[in-house]
Amino acid sequence: MAFLRDNFRWLLGGFLLTLFSGFGQTIFIGASGGELREAFGMSNGQWGNLYGLATLASAATLPFVGKIMDYRPGWQVAAMVIPGLAIACVSMAFAQSVLMLGVSLYLLRLLGQGMMSHIALTETARWFAASRGKAISLVVLGFQAQEAILPLTFTLLVANYGYQTGWLAGAAVLVVFALPVIVWLLKKPREPQGEAEVAVTSGRDWTRGEVIRDPLFYAMSTGVLAPPFIGTTLFFHRDHLAELRSLSDATMGAGIPVMAFLTVGFALLTGRLVDRFGASRLLPIVMAPLALGCLAVAFLDGALGVIIFFALFGISYGFATTLFGSIWPEAYGTRYLGSIRSVTQSAMVFATALGPWITGALIDQGISLPTQFGWMAVYCAVAGVFLMGASRRLVARNASATATA
């Protein structure tokens, strides 16, 4: 409680950034997908292609935009990003062509899913050192809060007043509440005084070019990409899987609260483990529950397999959000963290776009979704081996850097 009280403004600022990143997340945009398809006369495939292209374009742009976090304080970046996100919401409301709709989606994905999350996790990692894991575990709860609050609220607005009103309401909330509150919260700097010497670090600050040439970066990335790829795939093809398993919408939906509860619990637990043992030592664990969850979808019929997947995915996602928010500053320092995280964030956005596309194409080729989840389990196992090797190398490298210092 003392930690929460003493650091409330910075933790709340990060939490609100992850919360309001929801305006650019798939789960929120999808709430008006049916109305938008009808308004523009698009098929499901055309809507999916437009959304996928916008997502890929935002992922390609993010490394160039995200490095601004290395040169400007977070509150200044937020003061630019939040109004831009509000403009994207207004553009969604008044889009008159498919081109304008595509540009609006691109801005929502870049500024919402991309930059709002990027600011939150980059600033939190810099503000905290010895308590970095605990801080990140609290900030990432904004992702779960957005899933609980924003889509339901938006759906009610759309049902009663139309999707234009819903998007305009989102823009109003961003300008009237999010912008002044978040900027005020972030404006006071926090220095990790008395903590930096306790934190496990690489001993120096790596540049983005050095990180991209580091083989351990790619070994760790195999784990970073798995949860967004697999999670987006299941949610995107949820109706298809329900049909294959003869499950009702209620049965499929029953797994969501289980997933949310376990995500929150394991995000908080992982924060404490990171502060005690270091993120590097925990890397080998993260893929195990995800691999088992994929096997459950692949081989268990009925509701049991789906419920088990949601539970194990919640464990893995809670673990991964905190762990991968902590590993980059621990492995590469904080000076160029904005540039480094923009690459990893971009890769995650690519994964969310490619997952439904690749799996959908394979389904069309006659390869069933359960079979594909079996392949994903194999991928998770291989990624776990890479993460185990990366963990050992990082621990040794950090120990060497500490001894030299």
For residues 271 and 137, is the Cβ–Cβ distance under 8 A?
A: yes
Element (H, E) at 246: none
Which residue range forms the structural domain that includes residue 217? 200-405
Do 169 and 204 sit in the same domain of this protein? no
pLDDT in tens, 130-182: 888 899 999 999 998 988 888 788 888 888 888 899 899 999 999 999 999 99
Do 133 and 212 sit in the same domain of this protein? no
For residues 140 and 41, is the Cβ–Cβ distance under 8 A?
A: no
Residue 27, burial from CB neighbour count under 10 angstroms (0-12, 13-18, 19+): middle
For residues 349 and 109, is the Cβ–Cβ distance under 8 A?
A: yes
Do 312 and 335 sit in the same domain of this protein? yes
pLDDT in tens, 297-356: 888 887 788 888 889 999 998 999 899 888 999 889 888 999 999 999 899 888 888 887
pLDDT in tens, 36-53: 888 888 877 788 788 889
Which of 163, 197, 231 delimits the end of a domain? 197
Do 123 and 4 sit in the same domain of this protein? yes
- Both tokens of residue 52? 């996928």
For residues 115 and 74, is the Cβ–Cβ distance under 8 A?
A: no
Which of 143, 163, 197 delimits the end of a domain? 197
Q: Is the pLDDT of residue 260 over 80?
A: yes
Question: For residues 276 and 206, what is the distance between their CA atoms, to the nearest angstrom?
Answer: 24
- Both tokens of residue 345? 């964030």
Q: How many domains does the chain have?
A: 2
Do 209 and 268 sit in the same domain of this protein? yes
Do 79 and 116 sit in the same domain of this protein? yes
User: Which alpha helices (DSSP H) does 67-174 contain, by range?
Assistant: 74-94, 98-107, 117-127, 132-139, 141-161, 163-173
Do 404 and 267 sit in the same domain of this protein? yes
What DSSP state is assigned to residue 206?
P
Q: Is the pLDDT of residue 396 over 80?
A: yes
Residue 355, burial from CB neighbour count under 10 angstroms (0-12, 13-18, 19+): buried
Please give, one letter per residue, the 3-state secondary structure of 266-282: HHHHHHHHHHHHCHHHH
Which of 134, 167, 197 delimits the end of a domain? 197
Do 92 and 232 sit in the same domain of this protein? no
Q: Which residue shows structure tokens 């933790």?
A: 11
Question: For residues 251 and 194, what is the distance between their CA atoms, to the nearest angstrom?
Answer: 50
- Give the percent of the chain with pLDDT over 90: 47
What DSSP state is assigned to residue 365?
T
In this structure, the number of other CB atoms found within 10 A of the CB of residue 89 comes to 25
SS3 214: coil
Q: Is the pLDDT of residue 401 over 70?
A: no
Do 333 and 223 sit in the same domain of this protein? yes
Question: What angle in degrees, to the nearest 10, is found between the helix axes of 132-139 and 249-277?
Answer: 160
Question: For residues 140 and 142, what is the distance between their CA atoms, to the nearest angstrom?
Answer: 5
- CATH assignment at residue 315: 1.20.1250.20
Do 238 and 351 sit in the same domain of this protein? yes
Do 220 and 333 sit in the same domain of this protein? yes
Do 344 and 221 sit in the same domain of this protein? yes
* Mean pLDDT, the chain, whole residue set: 87
